[in-house]
Each structure stands twice: as C-alpha cells, then as structure tokens.
Amino acid sequence: IAAYVLEGARDGRSVTDLMEAGRAVLTREDVMEGVPEMIGTVAVEATFPDGTKLVTLHQPIP
C-alpha cells in the first residue's frame, strides 16, 4: 500500500485520488485472516510535485 501511494505521488496523482485508490490495492482475500481488523490506518508521507504531504488511508483493507 505504501509503495503504491509513493509511486502515485511521483506520478503526479492527487492526495484525494490516492486516498481513494489506496483502499483498492489489497482485499481481504489477499491477506491472512484478522489482518484487515488489525490495520485501521496507514499513513504515508509522500513527495508530490508541490511538496511533501501525508496521505492517510482509513480501513485500507476493506
């Protein structure tokens, strides 16, 4: 998820776009049982063309 956000920031995508798209990177089927409940938030500090910003994904594995 973090690598996806960092790459998206380098590609010029917006924070809002990455916050939404980042939730589709992994599904419950991609991870072990119980992991989605353990990870409530993922925060990634990424460098965008207009500076460094914090991208926060709530419930990143729906």
Mean per-residue pLDDT over the chain, rounded = 97
CB 6 within 8 A of CB 43: no
Over residues 41-59, the pLDDT tens digits come to 999 999 999 999 999 999 9
Kindly report the CATH class assigned to 2-58. alpha beta
Q: Which pTM was predicted?
A: 0.90
Q: Which residue ranges make up each domain of the chain?
A: 2-58
**Is the CA virtual torsion 51, 47, 58, 26 positive or negative?**
positive
